[in-house]
Amino acid sequence: MRSKITAVSLAATALTFMVSGAALAETQLNALFMAQAAYSEDDIRAMTTEFEKANPDVKINLEFVPYEGLHDKTVLSQGAGGGYDVVLYDVIWPAEYAQNSVLVDVSDKITDEMKSGILPGAWTTVSYDGKYYGMPWILDTKYLFYNKEMLKKAGIEKAPTTWAELKADAQKIKDAGIVEYPIAWSWAQAEAAICDYTTLVSAYGGDFIKDGKPAFAEGGALDALDYMVDSYKSGLTNPNSKEFLEEDVRNVFQNGDAAFALNWTYMYNLANDPKESKVGGNVGVVAAPGVEGISEESAVNGSMGLGITSTSEHPDEAWDYIVYMTSQKVQNDYARLSLPIWASSYTDPAVTEGQEELIAAAEKGLAAMYPRPLTPHYQEMSLALQQGIQEALLDMSSPKDALEAAAENSGLE
């Protein structure tokens, strides 16, 4: 009897050890993502579940924060000795992250297939000083969305191709009583306002930095802020735009309270969905306008990448996860809220069908993407510009004075 009990006990002990060993063998990765714009949380969870099925020894713990929390969460976790293995980051951060060793240099992991297959502009998202700090994942810029029905009621036959035309069209729509405030922007004191501002800077041919010094208080960069302030004071822009982020703009537009809106790719299919939107089926999209004699389109580089933190204890598994998430198949399968980084995807019916208008706008917009400055001092410069834009909109300072003050506080002088 004792021998049977002993045998059973030994078997149970062995089973416990095996289960415990299996649990210990499972690699846990922590990944930080954005809880707004581009891919939805549901999309990211679905992608991750598929990866885990193909890699049963790896478990991904997902965390979602608003865009405004991505940078600080990443940096603070480094100071605390780690926390994340994979992080989503904006195109504006590689310089700072490289200088402070936040991300792993993965240049030796980039294959020839990746280099030839991914759109050249996408690589600017993850590169700095000749090195790659991850893989591009979200290829994005801001587009001009418009309500086709409202334009038709005002006798406007096509979307504006210049910012001057946009202002004239908005005035027609306002005068006709179709909507009180025809334009909605993301002008809250946040990076969103810098993206709208950069789009206009690109249209007017302006510069942020020249010879290492701020240059945005003159030329096209000053013209860009002049346009914003004039649009705001004229009553063509929704006055709440000074507090809007991108989701606020989407909600206003798809509720039928704006004829025009500047926003990212993700808004197209959401605003066109009758289940989600009051204006579903009436949403048009084009590349953001240009300025006569200067530009034909305007665009900001709003792309984002996935990188491995320097404190990750599982860099190989983290890289496998990043390669999966950025793979062409996964990007093609989830191309309704974010367009793929792969060049050949744009001839794939699975990607283009039902969003031909968006693809046509993307061909122009993505080719015109204008970068926000690649500088280790970007965060300081952005905060100074955000404050300057707000002061100009609120008539606390002239655009010229506001930008000059921003230059003094930019950390670049």
| Residue 8 pLDDT > 70 | no
Distances in whole angstroms, Cα of residue 383 to Cα of each of 73, 99, 145, 273, 338: 17, 20, 27, 35, 27
3-state class (DSSP) for residue 335: coil
3-state class (DSSP) for residue 283: strand
Q: Quick one: pLDDT band at residue 11, thresholds 50, 70, 90?
A: very low
Total number of domains in the chain: 2
Residue 226 and residue 120 share a domain: no
Residue of 147 and 25 predicted with greater confidence: 147
Instruction: Say which range, 61-70, 78-87, 258-267, 305-314, has the weakest mean pLDDT.
Output: 78-87
Note whether residue 247 is domain-resident: yes
Helices (H), 60-206: 67-79, 94-99, 112-117, 148-153, 163-175, 191-203
Q: Quick one: pLDDT band at residue 282, thresholds 50, 70, 90?
A: very high
Note whether residue 397 is domain-resident: yes
- Structural domain boundaries enclosing 68: 27-140+301-365
Residue 191 and residue 276 share a domain: yes
Residue 199 and residue 272 share a domain: yes
Nearest to 232 by CA among 183, 177, 176, 171: 183
What is the number of alpha carbons within 13 Å of residue 238 lying toward its C-beta?
Answer: 26
pLDDT tens per residue across span 353-374? 999 999 999 999 999 999 998 8
Residue of 36 and 106 predicted with greater confidence: 106
Structure confidence at residue 230 (pLDDT)? 98
Note whether residue 225 is domain-resident: yes
Average pLDDT, the chain: 92
Note whether residue 2 is domain-resident: no
β-pairing verdict for 27-34 and 58-65: parallel
Nearest to 141 by CA among 373, 337, 299: 299
Structure confidence at residue 318 (pLDDT)? 98
Note whether residue 22 is domain-resident: no
Residue 284 and residue 194 share a domain: yes
Distances in whole angstroms, Cα of residue 129 to Cα of each of 9, 52, 103, 296, 373: 61, 34, 14, 30, 14
Contact 105, 335 (CB under 8 A): no
Residue 394 and residue 351 share a domain: no
Note whether residue 255 is domain-resident: yes
Residue 170 CA to residue 148 CA, distance in Å, equals 13
Structure confidence at residue 17 (pLDDT)? 39
pLDDT tens per residue across span 212-260? 899 999 999 999 999 999 999 999 999 999 999 999 999 999 999 999 9
| Residue 293 pLDDT > 50 | yes
| Residue 329 pLDDT > 90 | yes
Name the token pair of 260: 């025009």
Residue 249 and residue 159 share a domain: yes
Residue 38 and residue 156 share a domain: no
Instruction: Say which range, 67-81, 145-159, 304-318, 371-385, has the weakest mean pLDDT.
Output: 67-81
Structure confidence at residue 373 (pLDDT)? 86
3-state class (DSSP) for residue 63: strand
β-pairing verdict for 209-210 and 86-90: unpaired
Mean pLDDT across 96-109: 95
Residue 241 and residue 135 share a domain: no
| Residue 328 pLDDT > 50 | yes
pLDDT tens per residue across span 116-166? 999 998 999 999 999 999 999 999 999 999 999 999 999 999 999 999 999
Structure confidence at residue 12 (pLDDT)? 45
Residue 337 and residue 395 share a domain: no
Residue 259 CA to residue 272 CA, distance in Å, equals 14
Query: Percent of the chain scored above 90 by pLDDT?
Result: 87
* Bridge partners, residue 60, by sequence: 29
Structure confidence at residue 413 (pLDDT)? 63
Mean pLDDT across 315-321: 98
Q: Quick one: pLDDT band at residue 187, thresholds 50, 70, 90?
A: very high
Q: Quick one: pLDDT band at residue 412, thresholds 50, 70, 90?
A: confident
Q: Which residue carries 């990750």 as its tokens?
A: 312
| Residue 338 pLDDT > 50 | yes
Residue 387 and residue 293 share a domain: yes
Note whether residue 334 is domain-resident: yes
CATH of the domain at 294: 3.40.190.10
pTM exceeding the 0.75 threshold for the entire prediction: yes
Residue 231 and residue 191 share a domain: yes
| Residue 15 pLDDT > 60 | no
Nearest to 139 by CA among 387, 358, 413, 357: 358
Residue 218 and residue 185 share a domain: yes
Structure confidence at residue 287 (pLDDT)? 98
Note whether residue 17 is domain-resident: no
